[in-house]
Structure 1
Amino acid sequence: MLDHVGILVADWNKAKAFYDAALAPLGVTLLNQVPEEYTGGLKVGGYGRDKPDFWLTESREPGPGRHYAFSAKTRAEVDAFYAAAMANGGRDNGGPGLRPDYHPNYYAAFVIDPDGNNVEAVCHAPG
């Protein structure tokens, strides 16, 4: 359905440090950074496992409140995502745990990123 998504970030270096750390436990890394001569001098980069699926674009007006959920293979990955995110500028928005109201095997953690977005890691595998 969706090929990729992107968000605007106010401070590229702060956002990059946050997402580098938070997404590493999920096997997601920065795969592509667009040369600034193509972006009007703005920093733009794409994260993913095999191809860039999640893009950050430097902006003076990022606008908070978006929600992004990243898939995790195991509950341990969700725990590691949360720990890394919290250690790198994230704010708690729901620590790791089961969310049986969503689904019996819905194990997730939620953090607010440096730009106010609600970022989640979720594992659907049983225990």
Structure 2
Amino acid sequence: MFSHIFISVTDFERALRFYDAVMSSLGIELRFCERERPWAGWHSPGGTRPLFVICKPYNGLPHHPGNGQMVAFAAASKAAVRASYKIALDSGGTCEGPPGLRPQYHENYYGAYFRDPDGNKLCVVSHIPAPHDA
């Protein structure tokens, strides 16, 4: 469905450290990083699309996180959701909702919500029923 998703950041090096940590915890691979531009993009292992890209705003104006916008990353398990959430907070993110079941979405929706250091809202979620992975 998606080719790529771009989000803007104010401090590229800070954002790169944050996203490197979170993406690594999910097994998402860095595809490119051009500090001089600056931008970086990640994709799922073995693929080329979709891409998730961070960059400074193209128009040169200040970054503003969107109200009501969120990017959600798939996790392989509840344990991966918890680990990614902890890494996000340890890397400068802020909590928007701790890991847990969200049955209002569906019975196996296990997610965590946080913001990156620039205020962009993110989610890590597992949709996989795994009673052994509590």
- Do both share a fold (TM > 0.5)? yes
Q: Which runs of 4+ in 1 moved over 3 A?
A: none
What are the residue-to-residue correspondences of 1:20-31 with 2, within 5 Å?
Answer: 20-31=20-31
What are the residue-to-residue correspondences of 1:91-110 with 2, within 5 Å?
Answer: 91-110=94-113
In 1: Cα distance, 2:42 partner to 2:64 partner: 20
Aligned-residue offset at 1:34:
4.1
In 2: Cα distance, 1:51 partner to 1:120 partner: 22
Number of the residue aligned with 1:47: 42
Aligned-residue offset at 1:29:
3.0
Number of the residue aligned with 2:118: 115
Number of the residue aligned with 2:16: 16
In 2: Cα distance, 1:62 partner to 1:47 partner: 21
Number of the residue aligned with 1:74: 77
Deviates more, 1:60-69 or 1:100-109: 60-69
Residues 8 and 61, structure 1, Cα contact 8 Å, conserved in 2: no
Instruction: Name structure 1 gaps, 5 residues minimum.
Output: 37-41
- Root-mean-square deviation (Å): 1.5
In 2: Cα distance, 1:51 partner to 1:96 partner: 29
Deviates more, 1:23-32 or 1:95-104: 23-32
In 2: Cα distance, 1:67 partner to 1:9 partner: 14
> What percentage of aligned pairs have identical amino acids?
39
Aligned-residue offset at 1:51:
2.5
Q: Match of 2:18, SS?
A: helix
Residues 44 and 57, structure 1, Cα contact 8 Å, conserved in 2: yes
Instruction: Name structure 2 gaps, 5 residues minimum.
Output: none
